[in-house]
Structure formats: C-alpha cells, structure tokens
C-alpha cells in the first residue's frame, strides 16, 4: 500500500511540473541523456521509423536525391543514428525539430562519421558541420537558428553541392527506400 501511495505521489509531482523553454544560456541538446552503452548492449534490431522522404537541391531538379529516414518525434530524435554501423552515401536522416533554435548535437554512440546540415524553416541551409568524428560528446552547432537538421555520411554534403545558403526541396514519401542498408 505504501509503495502505491509513493508511486501516486511521484506521478502527481511529475504531472505538476510545467515544461520549460530553453534559455539563451543553455540551448537544448537532442542527444539522449542516458550513459553511453557498449556496442554489445546495443539493440539487436533497430526499429525503422515510419517516416520517409526524399530531399533534393532546389536548383538541380534532375540532380541526385537523398533518401531520408525522418526523426519527427522526441524518441526518434533521441535515437537518431546511434548504434548504426553504416549508411549508404545517398541516404540520410532528417530531424524535424519542434521550433527554431541554434540546435546542438553530439555523437554519443554514433559509429558513422557524419556531416550535419542545419536547415532553416524555409528549407535553406543555415550552416554545416562537416566530417564529425564518431563516438564523441563534443557539442556541434552552427550558431544560427534552424528548424531541421540533416545527417549524411561524412563528406557527402560537399559531394552533393550542399553549402550554406543552398535551397533544398523536401518531399514526404512513405514508399522511399529505407536509409538503413
């Protein structure tokens, strides 16, 4: 009986806490709060998110497309590309952030070197962090507000011609090929 009362009190306390907006002093990170896990503790099968799409450079309508896995909800954003061993060069993950902010990412439990492309609400590249080494907790941002963040395998942003100011076109496509080989 005492355990149930304690659980109810804890639940009531949790429900009474109002969510807080990030302050200018401490931009939120989307990386998980959990401690890093060893490779052998990684999930055996990483669930593929239902959201898929394609991305293309606006002024190159016949140019290459990037098959995307979408991270739209907080659990998807927290998982990101953690524990993935590989990703094809023409694939990526697109994070839909809840509001405009100078977002900060890090590479805890991420085994693939990545390019991080920060995109504003108008689908224009605000900035990039290229060739981010795996398995670090160094914070990465571009110092500008963005609404979306695209992660590609390292060096592919440059190969695709993506740079600050590039206009991108996004198309949701549930039938798009899974970015995970």
The answer to whether 88 and 181 have CB atoms below 8 angstroms apart is yes
Walk across the sheet containing 52-57 and list its strands. Answer: 125-132, 114-119, 146-153, 91-101, 65-71, 52-57, 168-172
Q: 137: which 2 tokens?
A: 């907790």
Q: Which residue has the tokens 């500008």?
A: 144
d(Cα 36, Cα 107) in Å, to the nearest integer? 10
- How would residue 177 be classed by pLDDT, with cut points 50, 70 and 90? low
Average pLDDT score over residue span 130-139? 96
- Judged against a pLDDT cut of 90, whether residue 29 lies above it is answered with no
The pLDDT tens digits of the residues spanning 38-89 come to: 333 333 333 344 589 999 999 998 999 999 999 999 999 999 999 999 999 9
Report the pLDDT value the prediction gives residue 89, as an integer from 0 to 100.
93
> Which of the two residues, 21 and 119, has the higher pLDDT score?
119
Report the pLDDT value the prediction gives residue 51, as an integer from 0 to 100.
82
Q: What's the pTM value of the predicted model, to 2 decimals?
A: 0.71
Q: What residue spans define the domains of the chain?
A: 49-181
Distances (CA, A) of 171 to 8, 67, 68, 70, 153: 45, 10, 10, 11, 20
> Which of the two residues, 15 and 165, has the higher pLDDT score?
165
d(Cα 160, Cα 154) in Å, to the nearest integer? 11
- How would residue 16 be classed by pLDDT, with cut points 50, 70 and 90? very low
Q: 96: which 2 tokens?
A: 């839909």
Q: Residue 3 burial (CB < 10 Å; 0-12/13-18/19+)?
A: exposed
Q: Residue 30 burial (CB < 10 Å; 0-12/13-18/19+)?
A: middle
- How would residue 91 be classed by pLDDT, with cut points 50, 70 and 90? very high
Return the minimum-mean-pLDDT range out of 20-24, 148-152, 159-163. 20-24
Give domain 49-181's CATH superfamily: Protein of unknown function DUF192 (2.60.120.1140)
């Amino acid at each position: 009986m005492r355990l149930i009362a304690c659980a109810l009190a804890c639940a009531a306390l949790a429900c009474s806490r109002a969510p807080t907006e990030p302050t200018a002093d401490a931009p939120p990170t989307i990386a998980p709060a959990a401690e890093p896990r060893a490779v052998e503790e990684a999930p055996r099968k990483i669930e593929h998110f239902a959201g898929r799409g394609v991305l293309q450079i606006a002024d190159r309508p016949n140019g290459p497309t990037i098959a995307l896995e979408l991270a739209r909800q907080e659990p998807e954003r927290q998982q990101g590309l953690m524990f993935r061993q590989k990703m094809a060069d023409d694939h990526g993950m697109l994070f839909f952030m809840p509001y405009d902010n100078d977002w900060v990412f890090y590479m805890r439990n991420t085994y693939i070197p990545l390019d991080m492309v920060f995109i504003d609400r108008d689908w224009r590249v605000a900035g990039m962090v290229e060739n981010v080494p795996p398995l670090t907790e160094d914070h990465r941002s571009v110092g500008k507000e963005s609404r979306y963040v695209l992660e590609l395998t390292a060096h592919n942003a440059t190969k695709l011609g993506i740079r600050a100011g590039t206009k991108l076109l996004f198309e949701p496509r549930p039938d798009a090929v899974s970015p995970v080989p």
